[in-house]
Amino acid sequence: MHKNITKLSLLKQISVGCVLVFSCALSVYISSAQAELFNGPLDRLTGIERDSLRKGKVIVAGEDGKYVARVLITASPSTVWHVLTDYEKLPYFIPNMVSSKVLERNGDRKVVEQVDSRQMFFINVRSRTKIAITETNQKQIDFRLIDGDLASLTGSWKIESIKPLPGKPTTQVLLTQIVEAQANAGVPQDTFYSIFKDSLSVNLAAVSNEAIRRARL
């Protein structure tokens, strides 16, 4: 009889222990899920920014040559990555870009020369940039000017996955471009800043459209 009571007591303790372990595990899972749900890339932005992005708009913030541009793209990270790194085909979908050539390839490091042509005050203006690029696979692309018609240019592209719920597949990508650019001496700064900022919005919209197009193929 005593042994049966002891066994029963032991079983009850084991049962309670299992419940406690499950409860703790469930609590950890819920906390982790909540952290992921409310600490995603979009959650770091303001409500107005999130609303604009979800409507398909490009948002650009900053001034005086220092900008952060974002767009939300309904495509996979790999699709967006392949669009950004398809350097020699960029002129096919980026407005005003007339050529883009890879001059050097060394693993995740490349040197790309690009030529831009646009109308400014009824004059066709062509500009050339030679850019050193470092790629972090499907996550980030860093770039800096090494030669060309600007005084300076540095920045990065960042790809962040957006999931509808924790544990679910990625359905969208938040693409962010951080860039700092300065014109050569003699160029009207206000005019340069205005044109450059507008070009960021146009270019991100073009990248988004091309990624969506490729995602549907």
Tell me the CATH number at 73.
Answer: 3.30.530.20
Residue 176 pairs with which residues in a beta bridge? 70, 158
Considering the domain architecture, whether residues 76 and 35 belong to the same structural domain is answered as no
Considering the domain architecture, whether residues 25 and 71 belong to the same structural domain is answered as no
Considering the domain architecture, whether residues 106 and 211 belong to the same structural domain is answered as yes
Considering the domain architecture, whether residues 95 and 9 belong to the same structural domain is answered as no
Considering the domain architecture, whether residues 82 and 143 belong to the same structural domain is answered as yes
Range of the domain at 13: 1-39
Considering the domain architecture, whether residues 147 and 164 belong to the same structural domain is answered as yes
Considering the domain architecture, whether residues 92 and 143 belong to the same structural domain is answered as yes
Q: Is residue 67 classed exposed, middle or buried when 0-12, 13-18 and 19+ CB atoms within 10 A define those classes?
A: buried
Residue 150: DSSP 8-state: S
Residue 140 pairs with which residues in a beta bridge? 136, 158
Per the structure, how many domains does the chain have? 2
* pLDDT tens-place values along the chain, 217 residues long: 555 545 555 444 434 444 444 444 444 444 444 445 456 899 999 999 999 999 999 999 999 999 999 999 999 999 999 999 999 999 999 999 999 999 999 999 999 999 998 776 666 778 999 999 999 999 999 999 999 999 999 999 999 999 877 777 888 999 999 999 999 988 889 989 999 999 999 999 999 999 999 999 9
Q: Which long-range contacts (CB under 8 A, 24 or more apart) does 92-95 make?
A: 93/206, 93/207, 93/209, 93/210, 94/203, 94/206, 94/207, 95/202, 95/203, 95/206
Considering the domain architecture, whether residues 76 and 13 belong to the same structural domain is answered as no
Considering the domain architecture, whether residues 91 and 191 belong to the same structural domain is answered as yes
CA gap 199, 187 in Å, rounded: 17
Amino acid identity at 94: I
Considering the domain architecture, whether residues 19 and 108 belong to the same structural domain is answered as no
Considering the domain architecture, whether residues 8 and 97 belong to the same structural domain is answered as no
- On whether the pTM is more than 0.75, the answer is yes
Considering the domain architecture, whether residues 154 and 211 belong to the same structural domain is answered as yes
CA gap 112, 85 in Å, rounded: 11
Question: Tokens 């924790």 identify what position?
Answer: 166
